[in-house]
A and B are shown apart, each in its own frame.
Chain A
Amino acid sequence: MISVSGLTKVFGSGDAAVHALRGVDLEIPEGDFVAVMGPSGSGKSTFLSILGCLERPSSGEYYLDGRDVNSLEDDELADLRNKKLGFVFQSFNLLPRHNVLRNVEIPLIYAGASREERRKRAQVLLEQVGLGHRLTHKPSELSGGEQQRVAIARALANDPLVIFADEPTGNLDTKSSLEIMEIFQKMHRAGRTIVMVTHEPDIAAYARRVIHFRDGEIVREEAKDELR
């Protein structure tokens, strides 16, 4: 599913150059649930950005679902993000002026779905994350946990192959964090591939594999076979 080798990323140039990634090799098979851990500045977020096609690597190879990502044009990457990838952010990143339903519809708009299709799909997804009764609320009227659930529904809009989550519980209390992680676990059980950055061991424990980053390199990897 995901295969990277020799991945590097350098920000800036000359003396001011920052090496965020210094040659990363990783394989993520379909259906895997990977947690990426590491101290801040270790390159884990940059790594997620590159895997999520939000950023291009400075060098190295990246194959996603059999395609050479480096060779794709910007618009092809946009299509890829739209149809094959879903994102969940630490700060939810919902559009405050739109209601919940419309927030979930955005990826569907770019996918070219009709109005009725969009509405139906968004409604189904919001019901799946337990927000069927909050369709017309504005994000500001929801709790953090509820907002993150809207974001998850949005990430699932076009039934993506992979979900990328950057500290999805970073802004949530313990109870909400548990609820969110239960949803992630459900997604994982349903066979969806998940890559999640976190610095909380409790949260990382939900994953099947945990990868530790330090100074732009993978330093350690733990895997467990049984699901919690």
Chain B
Amino acid sequence: MNFADLIQIVWENLRAHRMRAVLTTIGIAIGIAGVIAVVAVGQGGQAVIISEIEKMGSSLYFDISPDYMRGETADSNTFSLDDPTIIKELSPAVDKMAAITLGPMVDVRLPNSDKNTIMASLYGTNPDLIHIMNLSMEKGRFITDLDVTSHSRVVVIDAGLAEDLFPKEDPLGKKIFVQDIPLTVVGVLEKAPSSMMDAFSVRMVYTPITQAQDMLNTRVINQLCGTAVSEEALPQAISDSIKILESRHSSVSKSYMGTTLDEQLEMVGNVTSILTTIIGAVAGIALLVGGVGVMNIMLVAVTERTREIGLLKALGARRRDIMQQFLGEAVALCLLGGLIGMLIGIGGAFAIALAAHWPPLISVWTVLLAIGFSVIIGIFFGLYPASRAASLSPAEALRHL
């Protein structure tokens, strides 16, 4: 029996039980769709986050936070406003440094409208941040030292927010309300190409750190971030910063940790890989269940068609012919499920990505792996029923009713 004949026989047999074949296929389709969607979304998200972090700073970037590992959190004594200036003066390894007070969710609106409130992340910071974060101005200026010392009611907004609030006008010089405090727009940041924050529709506003603390009614500085003078100086910059901070805040005995970009990338990579693995494993279980479904239906087919198997053997079918036929049916079911699942999975990945605003990453390997895996499942779960069919004695099988 040649391959074309095998394909034809398998196809005819599956067509004879269309409903059953389709239902069996669904189990596999769900599993494959799950695996592909999860991996695509996971890898896409990971790629976006990594590119975002890479964009955020050079290899010179580092930040100093309270030591989370020891359960420390930032309070009003952790950092002080003049820490960045002092550290820059004392450590030759540190180039730029800025303090950040974060307002994760603040309301932004135009003066005359109570509606159309936009959620944004507030960064209260110093002038150095523009260099540390590799930001560039589309128009206007960034925050100045004078803004910081004089608690100026000024704000720098990102390009997305500028489009939201002032679709037709020049935002410079206009007033906007942040947490119901009127601020004057002095600068608009350049739109970063395919920025993750932009993709997530997270808008950013930057104010002098002193003004942010006033608005948020806090004295907490969440973290310091900076750049080293050179890559070699990076460890020195971090340890200097921590030493200086520890001596300056010795009265409250705080401990600090420094993180470089590489370490952040590694962390992100670890977290997303673990998540992808866990969800992928769940989808894998679905695939396994689908495989058992295929095995079940193939065993039913063998029992149902015992007489037919006997007849085929009487007509000259060898063990291998029967084996191929039933294995072929199992593999065809799984492959069909795999193809349907692939389409659903890719569609699903795009749908999720559309909602979450990040591009899915569907590699050829993911698809090939999923298809290959469905074939392997077909072989694995088809082998037992097929060998049972093939080993029936022809006379016995023919006596079967």
Contacts and interface: CB of A to CB of B under 8 A. Distances in A.
Looking at B15, B313, B314, B394, the one whose CB has the most chain A CB atoms below 10 A away is B314
B395 A154 contact: no
Interface stretch (A78-86, A178-186, A209-217, A220-228): A78-86
Given A97-B16, A98-B12, A110-B1, A52 B314 contact: yes
Contact of A106 (B13, B315, B393, B395): B315
Contacts of B308: 95
A108 B9 CA distance: 14
Looking at A49, A111, A158, the one whose CB has the most chain B CB atoms below 10 A away is A49
B296 to A, nearest CB: 22
Contacts of A54: 310, 313-314, 393-395, 398
Interface residues of B, number: 27
A120 to B, nearest CB: 16
B394 A106 contact: no
B191 interface: no
Contacts of A75: 318-320
B5 to A, nearest CB: 5
Interface residues of A, number: 25
Given A49-B395, A110-B321, A81 B316 contact: yes
B109 interface: no
B12 A87 contact: no
B310 to A, nearest CB: 8
B276 to A, nearest CB: 44
A154 B315 contact: yes
B280 to A, nearest CB: 40
A107 interface: yes
Contact of A97 (B5, B12, B317): B12
A26 to B, nearest CB: 19
Contacts of A95: 308, 311
Contacts of B2: 112
A111 B398 CA distance: 21
Contacts of B311: 89, 93, 95
A55 B395 contact: yes
A15 interface: no
B162 to A, nearest CB: 68
A74 interface: yes
A109 interface: yes
A12 B316 CA distance: 27
Given A54-B314, A106-B312, 16 more contacts: A55-B396, A74-B319, A75-B319, A75-B320, A78-B318, A78-B321, A82-B315, A83-B316, A93-B311, A95-B311, A109-B1, A109-B9, A110-B312, A110-B315, A111-B316, A112-B2
